[in-house]
Amino acid sequence: MKLANLPLVLILILGAGSAHAQQLSPASGDQRSADRDAIRGHIDKIFQAYIQKDAKVIRATHANEWTGFQSSSRTTIRGIDQYMKDVDGYLNSPVKMTGYKMLEFDVVFYGNVAVVPYVADVTYDYQGQASTRKLRVLDVYARLADGWNQVGSDTTLHPDTLAAEMQQAQTVEGDDKQELLAAREAVWRAWFANDGSRLAELVPPELIAIEQSEKWENRDAVLAGAKDFAAKGGKLVRLEFPQTEIQMFGYTAVVYSKYVCEIEIDGKRSTQSGRATEMFVNRQGKWVNVGWHLDSGS
């Protein structure tokens, strides 16, 4: 069929569809080097603004309707005001970005929109201590009335950095330490009280426990042991932890303790003491005891 025989409206629709399809065809950065370089320069400008802690430039290099995620975001950031509110924590902190090195950089264009993935090493200074974190970023750029600007982004820590941070020893202080120690004591007291529902909350199904007798137990055996202790009329008289040391890595804490417990069965009291090595994992803000090893300390 010849175009001359088509209605004018249909010709316009076909032409518009063809132009639209052509506009959304992907183009590499090499194919549009001037636009690629402009975006790369814009990203460099953002980094320099963060290094200088220049809030005015940071705001100007992000579109008013910016949306996306920062590395610590739990919800979507919507708009430049929310973005700047999130940035305020960094701008007003003693932490300072001191430099960056682009490790990977790519751009794919779809008309006036560009998808920009990159990986960068970023160095920071905190009270004279230097550190480097690798970031994995996906920026979205659009060519607006005043040129290319960032309209969205997803910034995350690179898996290499996440792994390195999880491997580093962390300090446990204040409320965090008290919550961990409270969870430890709760496990012991729930066992002696045969509080099965509470104990099931504190020890997960994958529990592995080694008792003083060197017997290996799973959660079912631990719950059965508590029930058996109660059936014999046993009760806890005294529980103390005269010495405790803690190591923490990521969401896992290892608690080393000396313990003393006095129990009563059929009116007769006895005292047990020894050492405990207990492993806790923080899940959804709560510490659960995933395993322990008890010995007499002799």
How does pLDDT run along the chain (298 residues), one tens digit per residue?
A: 444 454 544 444 555 555 555 567 999 999 999 999 999 999 999 999 999 999 999 999 999 999 999 988 999 999 999 999 999 999 999 999 999 999 999 999 999 999 999 999 999 999 999 999 999 999 999 999 999 999 999 999 999 988 888 888 888 888 889 999 999 999 999 999 999 999 999 999 999 999 988 889 999 999 999 999 999 999 999 999 999 999 999 999 999 999 999 999 988 999 999 999 999 999 999 999 999 999 987 7
Helical residues (DSSP H) of 53-95, grouped into ranges:
55-60, 80-91
CA distance 42 to 153: 14
Beta strand residue intervals within 76-128, DSSP E: 77-78, 96-105, 108-110, 113-126
Amino acid at 166: M
Cα Rg of the chain, angstroms? 30
Cβ within 8 Å of residue 215, ≥6 positions away: none
Is it true that 24-166 and 169-295 share their CATH fold?
A: yes
Total-model pTM: 0.71
Beta bridge partners of 291: 208, 279
Q: Give the architecture-level CATH label for domain 24-166.
A: Roll (3.10)
Tokens for 69, please give them: 């995620």
Specify whether the CB–CB gap between 141 and 113 falls below 8 A: yes
Unique residue bearing structure tokens 């249909």? 10
Cβ within 8 Å of residue 39, ≥6 positions away: 107, 114, 116, 141, 148
Backbone angles phi, psi at 161, to 5 degrees: -70, -40
CA distance 150 to 41: 12
Specify whether the CB–CB gap between 149 and 42 falls below 8 A: yes
Give me the residue spans of the domains in the chain. 24-166, 169-295
Q: Is 169-295 CATH 3.10.450.50? A: yes
- Of 69, 43, 71, nearest in space to 58 by CA: 43
